[in-house]
Each structure stands twice: as structure tokens, then as C-alpha cells.
Copies of this chain bind each other. A is one copy, B any other.
Amino acid sequence: MIQTSHKILLGGNWSASSDAQAAFHAWNPATGESLPDSYPVSGTGDINASLAAGKTAAQELEQIDPEVRAGFLDQYAQAIQDDAERLAETASRETGLPLRPRLLEVEIPRTVNQLRQAAHWTREGSWQRATIDTASNIRSHLAPLGGPVIIFGPNNFPFAFNAVSGGDFAAAIAAGNPVIAKAHPAHPETSRLLAKLASDASQEFGLPGATVQMLYHFPNELGMVLVSATETAAVAFTGSRPGGMRLKAAADAAGVPIYLELSSLNPVFVLPGSVRERGSAIASELAGSCNLGGGQFCTKPGLIVLEGGADSAGFISTMRQSFADAPEPVLLMADSASRIKESLEVLTAAGAEILAGGSPGTRAGFRFQPTLLKVSGTTFLKEATALQREAFGPVALLVVADDEKQMPAIASAMDGNLTATVYSDSAGTDDNLYQEITTIVRPRVGRLLNDKVPTGVAVVPSMQHGGPFPATGHPGFTSVGLPASICRFAALQCYDSVRPHRLPKALADANPN
């Protein structure tokens, strides 16, 4: 039996993996060295045990008052806040992300806030859309799914999108489902500490033991088994497109709803009037957004479209200089640099030219130079698929249109994305072109921005952090922004002439809604 430093969280207990196939270590991206602790790569035994326990917990949870779940979410949020220093230090060690402002001042407060918002909506209940038709005595509302929700967390937000503390977790619990969290193997210790706080809070509130379970890692093929199991009620995945598409195929075939957040290029259109009016300011702002968090944001602007000619020369030169001046960021993974390199090869083979960067970093650790590329609009239109290859890191591609007219054509060649941004001038000379481009782009993105970088994703009810395929799997859902994100993990349940004493409270005649 394989020995590891740490146990998995299964059915309410911290247990040795029953059939670990291997052990793995995390890395310190800032130094490139592996960290000492070891964690199990789970096998079928752990997967099946988590599913069985999750199914039982789902049934038990349905009998428990929403107030208990809300109390748990609040308590867990408080525990994260109280333990923020230790959590942030651990996460910084495993991800290379800076303690300040990123982890301590932005991401942990956001995570705490998300959990508290989830607690609020759990109590408030309007997301259930209780509907009572008195004449027919037919009532319906959104209700828990009856099985565990499997959440795959990404590498880039160790708290706010962590499978055991992030937005999907908060939404699944708010909807009344247990969670089987698949932590990202790049930050196992951060995930372990979070899961400990979650399971302690869960225990304190008397929730079923398997309300929160966590596995660190398993082989890809077991991911397919997990998402297609009969016990599995739904899946949320945030990560790379190939991995997400494999899980999607398995879940789809089994009829399991799967919510994906895959790669996104987040195109930015800088219209000619805005280039003339304030090109240099926009260029600096965009370069900052491209390099934020090492360019490892879901909503990093990866594609910037502008008209060529004399006016744009200054814009391009400012962007190039900003990229050249930006520090080499620490990246999340041991293979981050080689993956970026692969993407650059695809982009340059398709005709893109490197204006700045282009090489792995020179300092220790996982690094890559901030890299700016350029391609003509005509080439982009010829090689639109290759030139929409994502490079997950500090990389952006400038698409320089021959003329204004080519910009809508470029928009038409774009895949589904999370966001699109349009910069236009304040005098309104760009308005016709704006109209033309956004008519094309609007149905292809979840969030449309004006004159603002897309990297901020506010946790407000009106947020849409989603969009058409292939950015996600369904254009009607969001993974950020409560209460909408909760509805992903709910079934529409109808009660037709059900006797009054058997109705859920929210559907009783006395319900004030």
C-alpha cells in the first residue's frame, strides 16, 4: 500500500486512500522545487466510496432545514477569514501567487464574501422560484438534485474557484446538494486546509458526514467514471478545453448535466476613434490586464483587434513596450512554460509575429516572458482556428485589420467567449462600427464590456461568468454571481394535487411568496 503524508476526506472522515495508485507532491513555482508532503492519487475504491456516501448525504440533506446549511456556510466563511494568513502563505507557496494584494486582500476576501452571499441566498430562498397555481393546485420550485455534485477546481484561483471553497462549491451547497470536490493537484495543501475548515464547520452544524468530501487527484480515466456514475447528480468543471471536453463527453453520454468553464480568448476591439483619442492609455491598461496574475485569468484579453495605419503605430508600440517592461511572472505549473511554447508555435506557424517576449524565463522557477504577438487581419481570417489557440499565461495577440471594414469580419470569425470588450471614442464617431461589431459579437459572448478591461469579475447578481460554447457548455448559465449560479445545481420539482401536509414548506399555502 502506498503511504502518503495526508489523507482524503471521505464520508465525513479523514481516511487513508483505500487504493492509492501513486503519491504526488506539489511544487513551489517560484523556485521550481517540489514540496515535501505527499498526497494520494485515488483509485476506483475511493471514487466509489465517495459516490455512495454522497448519495446518502443527498437524501439526508433534503430533510435538513436550509438555515443549517446557511449557518454552515457562514461559519466556514468566518473560519477562512480567521485563518487567512496561514491559508494565504500555503497557497502562495503552492501557486507562486503573491500574498498581497492578490491572496490576502483580493482572493480570500472574495471567497469569504461568496460563501456569505451563498448563505444569504440559502436563507432567502427566492432562487427556488416557488410557483403556486391555486386553481389547478399545482406547485413547483427548484430543489436539490438528489445526488452529489462533482466539482473540479482549476489551478488559477486556489480559493475563489477551489473545488472545496469556491463559487461552484458555494452554489452547490446553497442548492442543498453534497459536494465531492476534486482539488487541483497543483495546490493540495491549500485544499486540505480548506477542506479541514469545511468539514469541521459541517460537523459543528450537524450536517451529514459526506456533505463535503475531497479527493486530491486521480487518473484521467477515473474522472470519466466519476462524472458518469449513476449516483452523480451534476458536474462543474473549470479548466483546460481538452480535459473539459473529455469529461463532457462522458457526462453527456450518461445524461449527467455538466457545467464547464473552458478556455476563452476574451477579444477586445479597440475602435479607431478611441485609438486616436486615448490609444496610449488604452494600450497601457490592456497590457496590465493581459499580465495580471501572470496572464492566468479566465478573462484575460488574449486577442486585441484594431485597425492598422499611422494612428495605431503608437498603440502597438506602447503595448510592446509595456510587455517588454513587465516582470517575468511566476506561473502556476511545471509545464506552464512548455504549454505556452506549444501555443506560440501554433500561432507563429499560422503567421503571427512575436513583438515582445517569446521565451521561457531566465530566473529560477516556472516562468515565461510576457509575450506580445501581432498578425494581420487578412491572415487572421485565413487561419482563424489556429490563431484562436489559447496560450494560458502572459500572452496576447494583436490582430491588425487592413481597414475598419475588416473588423466586423474578424468578429464573425470568432468562437464563443466569456467576454468581449469594445473601446470607442467619447465623441461617438465609433458608434456605427460599434453597432456593427456588437451585433455580431453579442450572441457569442456572455459579458460585453465598454471601455474597461475584462479581468475583474464582480460577484454581483447581474454577473455572467459564462457564455456560448466552447467557452462553456451552455449559454444560459453563470458560474459567478448569486443567486443565478445556484440554479445550475437544482431540479425543477412539481407537486400536483399533493396533500397540504406533504408539501415542502416553500410551497405551502402559507408561504408569503
Residues in chain A within 8 A of chain B (CB atoms): 58-59, 62, 129, 131-133, 135-136, 138-140, 142-147, 233, 248-249, 252-257, 416, 419, 434, 438-439, 442-444, 446-452, 454, 458, 460-464, 466, 468-470, 473-478, 481, 484, 487-488, 490-499, 502
Contacts and interface: CB of A to CB of B under 8 A. Distances in A.
Given A145-B443, A146-B442, A252-B249, A492 B468 contact: no
A255 B473 contact: yes
A132 B481 CA distance: 12
Nearest to A444: B146
B255 A252 contact: no
Contacts of A257: 474-476
A497 B450 contact: yes
7 contacts: A138-B458, A146-B468, A254-B469, A446-B491, A449-B498, A464-B492, A464-B494
A101 B284 CA distance: 72
Contacts of A499: 450
Contacts of A62: 439, 442
A348 to B, nearest CB: 27
Contact of A447 (B133, B248, B494): B494
Contacts of A490: 476
A359 B33 CA distance: 75
A461 B494 CA distance: 11
Residue among A59, A470, A498 facing the most chain B CB atoms (10 A cut-off): A498
A254 B444 CA distance: 15
CB-based closest 8 A-B pairs: A146-B443, A255-B469, A464-B494, A475-B491, A252-B252, A447-B494, A131-B462, A133-B460
A249 B142 CA distance: 27
A451 to B, nearest CB: 7
Contacts of A132: 462
B450 A498 contact: yes
Nearest to A448: B495
